[in-house]
Structure 1
Amino acid sequence: MALVEIETFPDRMIAEMARGRLAAEGIEAILFDGGVAGLGLGGLLPARLMVDEADEARALRSLEPDF
């Protein structure tokens, strides 16, 4: 299982919401560096949302705006 970064977030709460959206679609995602973003230091080291490379295209589609 090779992980790829699909998005970065300066705020952990927003990153968790994106991870939840992926989970609702059946896509497992992992947050890297979320603890640093949670301290308000996301500008220095943002939270990185990672998925298995096999799920990358589906995850990116799931995070597209719905408008």
Structure 2
Amino acid sequence: MALVELGRYDRQLAAILVGRLEADGIPALAFDAGASIADGSWLLIPVRVMVDADDLAAAKAIVGAA
């Protein structure tokens, strides 16, 4: 399994996308979601949504249709 970046989103959208992808059978992870909560700049640092390289095309299709 090799993780690749699907995209960078705000925390809420990243959480929604991870849930949508997983509902469609594509494992996904949100990286950096808690990286800047402590210093109050959470709107400035995007969350990376990561998927397996083999699932990238399908994940892009799901995100593009949403």
- TM superposition score normalised by structure 1: 0.82
**Structure-1 residue corresponding to 2:56:** 56
SS at match of 1:55: helix
**How far did residue 55 of structure 1 move?**
0.2
Work out whether 1:2 is the aligned partner of 2:2.
yes
Q: Which residue identity is paired with 2:55?
A: D
Structure 1 Cα separation of the partners of residues 49 and 61 of structure 2: 14
Q: Hey, which bits of structure 1, 4+ residues long, moved more than 6 A?
A: none
Structure 1 Cα separation of the partners of residues 31 and 11 of structure 2: 10
Query: RMSD of aligned C-alpha atoms?
Result: 1.5
Identity %: 41
What does residue range 40-55 of structure 1 map to in structure 2 within 5 Å? 40-43=41-44, 45-55=45-55
Structure with the largest fraction of helix: 1
Q: Deviations over 1:15-60 (max 9, x none)?
A: 10010110111000011101136x24242x3100000000000000
In structure 1, stretches of 5+ residues that fail to align are none
**Residues matched between the structures, number:** 63
